[in-house]
Structure 1
Amino acid sequence: MTTTDSPVVEASPQPAPGGDAIRVDQRLHPMSWLFVLLQQLKQFIVPLVAAFFFGGDRNELWPLIGVGALALTAVWRYLTYRYGVSGDALVVRSGLLERSVRVIPFARIHNVGLQQSVLHRLFGVAEVRLESAGGQKPEAEMRVLKLADALALEALVRRRGAAVEPAATAVAPTPLLALPPGEVVRLGLVSNRGLILIGAAVGGLSQFSPRLMPNLIEHWGQWALGWASDNGTQHPVSLAVAGVSLVLLVVALLRLFSILLALLQYYGFRLSESGRRLTVERGLLARWRTSASRRRIQAWTLRETLMHRLLKRRSLDIDTAVAEQQNQPRALRELAPVATPAACDALIEHLLPRAAWAQLDWRALPARAWWRLALPGLPFALLFTAIAAWWIGVWALLVLLWLPWTAYIARRHVRAAGYAVNDELVAVREGWWSRHWRFAEIDKLQALQLTRNPLDRRCGTATLWLDTAGAGAMAPPLRVRFLPEADAVALYERLSRTLARRPLRW
């Protein structure tokens, strides 16, 4: 029986032309079964460790039977897995009783990802993922290859993929950006990755003692309040001291963990360019390497939070035509995790030379648009005030003091917002406290949508949505909000005419 995910063709037994080093029917690394087994054992690690070291329920050892079955499956996978080159495609064979042959044209491979954990580096191997645009899983996932074989496969994909990229040539990689340790520390300061570690620690500790975290918080409060009382401070001040000190401690721990996590993930970050292909390599203990063609970039996001501004830094992300799979870092997303504004602008100018990023003519939104931004929250504020007044009386009217602050925020947002359009690029800027610039080449736009809700019709405004492929879940939308209706229609028609004259580029 043969099962396939793409049309099956018989692989030629001769090596592919061009002197490629990857022969037909290449095996995985002899220790690949171990890495496959470890990947499958992740769900059993916690109960097994708890049972052995903390005296858990011995019934939790029953999964060991499943572990044995997984070990046999991993060995079977190694013995039956083959890959090789046939003409202009990579052929992957697996299975013995139920055979599968997958033929992957090189032109279909849009991204090559290499990952190395600490164990991978000890054995000198790497895990390889070959990915395409829009797929919900990799075209091929090889666990694991010798590092030399993995790099040879990456070079082969790049070389064969040049057939669909005439401008691509086999040249030495050109470094575009490198992050020294000091910049990685700044990245930890501007990010909130420490929340991940603290959340994981709280969840893990709560499994062993549900009262552990409440007890820690209680002891901290007793220590802080006792220290304040010894100094003769009144109770309200003591409470404030305890609260402020606890907040400062949590903030300090968050930043510390964020720095540690940034060092683990981004140490040795290097962005390089080879022909028209971009490659990123990063990681302290585990190394991660991925590459993607420049023509696969669909949209760009330039970010600047308050902490970015304090450190005079920005971040530059991209969307590529490759989907993500269950939080796996499949596609190239971060061109500059943290860099100076000048370095970010230089990257954009280099990678988008025809877009004239520095010369964009930004147009601001009309000043009166702040009404349109503030109005949706007004009915909810009045309703909440009425309900609160019914419960606590006239003191609930203090809630209305929130309205002037809302109006101030709306004014600041409208003052900071704007958009720019030229023959090559459409760009939008939004945000006040945290700012971002979202832009894309006009040729990469897939859809335009002009929307007006009842409030827009009342205020004479409209919102233009611009859709591209590969947008990440956390990426801000590409849209021009609260334009006067005539301006929104004119911009919609201009972009529609431009798209109608040009073929869609991927």
Structure 2
Amino acid sequence: MTTPEPPPLAPLPPAAGPGDAERRLHPASWLFVLLQNLRQFIVPLIVLLVAGRRADDGPAWLPLIGIGTLVAVSVWQYLTFRYRIADDRLVVRSGLLERSVRQIPYSRIHNVAIHQSLLHRLVGVAEVRLESAGGTRPEAQMRVLRLPEALALEQLIRDRGRTDDAGSPQPASAATPGDTLLALSTAEVVKLGLISNRGMIVVAGALALAFQALPDRTAGRWLVEGGREAFGYANAFAATWMAKTLVLAGAVALALLAIRAFSVALALVRYHGFRLLRQGRRLTVERGLLSRSRSSVPRRRIQAWTLREGVLHRLFARRTLEIDTASARGSDGQGQQDGRGLDALAPIATAATCDAIVRDVAALAHWPPTHWQPLHRRAWLRLALGAWLPTTVLCLVLGWFFGRWGLLGLLWLPWSAFVAHRHAARAGYAIDTAMVAVREGWWRRHWRFAEIGKLQAVELRQSPLDRWTGMAALWLDTAGAQPLAPPLRLRFVPLAEAERLHAALSREIARRPLRW
């Protein structure tokens, strides 16, 4: 299924000086700001509406006042927002009573994100978000611009903000479509939906919301009644306990299949038409079925990499490649988890494709490492002790209250020892003059690596169990990290080796300039 080509770029001035006129947003911008505000305040408005209906003399017009206030605020924001394009920066002016003028150099913009919901696409507009490193929110968020103007602004920032690794400006070039590093077909997106667990997460969130929002334990009552009806159907179709068990197991299997189908649908909505493009020194990701998003980031802003491989990944011979960038986090502190940021370069791809992207983008000629250093020879014991101690204490407490039945949890100890042994046998680390890499996990595997020039600090840690077993851990910090990304750390290393690596990496970090 082909992805439609973007519309032609609207003309922007080659240079803008102090005397150039400021630009407004799209005339329908206030409507999209209103819709965003309604999403944030929908719960309080519903509470006011319900309270107004329940009270005998309650103020039922309170929700209307709230909506009217949001409309006034949205129109106010549209009327007071201006932006101007200068030679080396973007100037954003907003506010009337409390005025602000924000000047954003093009070279400091790390990520340009263009988002189109279904309503955006119907109106022919897009939301533009400009992010820089380390901020708690975007430097500028324009709701909304005409789509050609949004794409032209993205191209202008890409050209005028182009710098080399030393930070020197590079000359602008004509817009190019870029080289496609990865394009996901519909079949690959379906595999991604089967692998991911997003459908289960959404269903669990919906159940939690139902328990909180519905009055008088309505959700719990529905679940109990549904369970009784299901058990009644099982009694009607089966006479023996074995047959009833099979019927109920089939019902659970159908529910799991429905949830997995829901995961596939969510993957199609989010990743349909996924393309990873290399456009000069920037990477651009396009994706989405109903809502289209386009996000780009300079390659040198990538701070760390993560390869993931779960059980279902191995079933389909696929992996996921994610990155950490030094771009702004969302106002909620959750980073780019709203689905608009450039976080996954390859949501699903073969191992060879992921490795090729790493070698191309990170310029790591020796990825993957040919030799991994093993952990301490007793690393499995250190891992097992971390599980044995709390499990034993918990089982002893349960045994005190429930007798021998409470001690059945001790049967978990052999399995945890087996898992620890498998984990320690597979884990390892690799360090050379260019990068630091760690691999961990057995059931669910991941590889975590970063260029040495991206490291900010290295810390040597020892827990009481580490000191008892003669081990240590090295924790490495970079400029940015995804909230759900595993930490970059070398665990269960012999103490003498950890101290040597700590000293060597500290010298390298102090000697090399930070590249972010």
In the superposition, the TM-score normalised over structure 1's length comes to 0.89
Q: Which residue of 2 aligns with 1:270?
A: 275
Of stretches 152-161 and 348-357 in structure 1, the one that deviates more from structure 2 is 348-357
Partner SS state of residue 162, structure 2: helix
Q: Aligned ranges for residues 5-44 of structure 1 at < 5 Å?
A: 18=15, 24-43=21-40
Q: Which residue of 2 aligns with 1:98?
A: 98
- Shift of the alpha carbon at 1:191? 0.9
Specify which of 387, 410, 417 is matched with residue 420 of structure 2: 410
- Taking structure 1 as reference, are residues 25 and 482 closer, same or farther at Cα in structure 2, changes over 3 Å only? same
The yes-or-no answer on 1:444 pairing with 2:444 is no
- Taking structure 1 as reference, are residues 398 and 168 closer, same or farther at Cα in structure 2, changes over 3 Å only? farther
- Taking structure 1 as reference, are residues 23 and 437 closer, same or farther at Cα in structure 2, changes over 3 Å only? farther
The yes-or-no answer on 1:160 pairing with 2:160 is yes
Q: Which residue of 1 aligns with 2:484?
A: 474
**Contact 1:225–1:242 (Cα < 8 Å) also in 2:** no
Partner SS state of residue 364, structure 1: coil
Cα distance per residue 1:58-95 (max 9 Å; x no partner): 74541211221222222222222211112311111123
**Contact 1:48–1:60 (Cα < 8 Å) also in 2:** no
The yes-or-no answer on 1:233 pairing with 2:230 is no
Q: Which residue of 1 aligns with 2:502?
A: 492
**Contact 2:429–2:438 (Cα < 8 Å) also in 1:** yes
Q: Which residue of 2 aligns with 1:384?
A: 394
Task: Give the letter for the 1:417 counterpart.
Answer: A
The percentage of aligned residue pairs carrying the same residue is: 52
- Taking structure 1 as reference, are residues 140 and 502 closer, same or farther at Cα in structure 2, changes over 3 Å only? same
Alpha-carbon distance in 1 for matches of 2:404, 2:28 = 74
Q: Which residue of 1 aligns with 2:3?
A: none
**Contact 1:424–1:441 (Cα < 8 Å) also in 2:** yes
Q: Which residue of 2 aligns with 1:135?
A: 135
- Shift of the alpha carbon at 1:144? 0.6
The yes-or-no answer on 1:453 pairing with 2:463 is yes
Cα distance per residue 1:36-62 (max 9 Å; x no partner): 111112245567789999x95474541
- Shift of the alpha carbon at 1:481? 0.5
- Shift of the alpha carbon at 1:401? 1.9
Structure 1 residues without counterparts, runs of 5 or longer: 1-14
Partner SS state of residue 366, structure 1: coil
Alpha-carbon distance in 1 for matches of 2:73, 2:403 = 69
- Shift of the alpha carbon at 1:228? 4.9
Partner SS state of residue 41, structure 1: helix
Q: Aligned ranges for residues 173-192 of structure 1 at < 5 Å?
A: 173-192=178-197
- Shift of the alpha carbon at 1:122? 0.7
Q: Which residue of 2 aligns with 1:305?
A: 310
Task: Give the letter for the 1:264 counterpart.
Answer: V
Of stretches 185-194 and 93-102 in structure 1, the one that deviates more from structure 2 is 93-102
Task: Give the letter for the 1:41 counterpart.
Answer: L
- Shift of the alpha carbon at 1:187? 0.9
Alpha-carbon distance in 1 for matches of 2:386, 2:47 = 51
- Taking structure 1 as reference, are residues 174 and 465 closer, same or farther at Cα in structure 2, changes over 3 Å only? same
**Contact 2:324–2:480 (Cα < 8 Å) also in 1:** yes
Alpha-carbon distance in 2 for matches of 1:388, 1:46 = 42
- Shift of the alpha carbon at 1:317? 0.2
Structure 2 residues without counterparts, runs of 5 or longer: 1-11
Partner SS state of residue 38, structure 1: helix
**Contact 2:115–2:340 (Cα < 8 Å) also in 1:** no
**Contact 1:202–1:213 (Cα < 8 Å) also in 2:** no
Alpha-carbon distance in 1 for matches of 2:459, 2:267 = 38
Alpha-carbon distance in 2 for matches of 1:330, 1:470 = 17
- Shift of the alpha carbon at 1:150? 0.6
Of stretches 174-183 and 209-218 in structure 1, the one that deviates more from structure 2 is 209-218
Q: Aligned ranges for residues 274-423 of structure 1 at < 5 Å?
A: 274-325=279-330, 326=332, 327=334, 328-329=338-339, 331-423=341-433
The RMSD of aligned alpha carbons is 2.7
Of stretches 489-498 and 427-436 in structure 1, the one that deviates more from structure 2 is 489-498
- Shift of the alpha carbon at 1:251? 1.8
Partner SS state of residue 514, structure 2: coil
- Taking structure 1 as reference, are residues 94 and 230 closer, same or farther at Cα in structure 2, changes over 3 Å only? closer
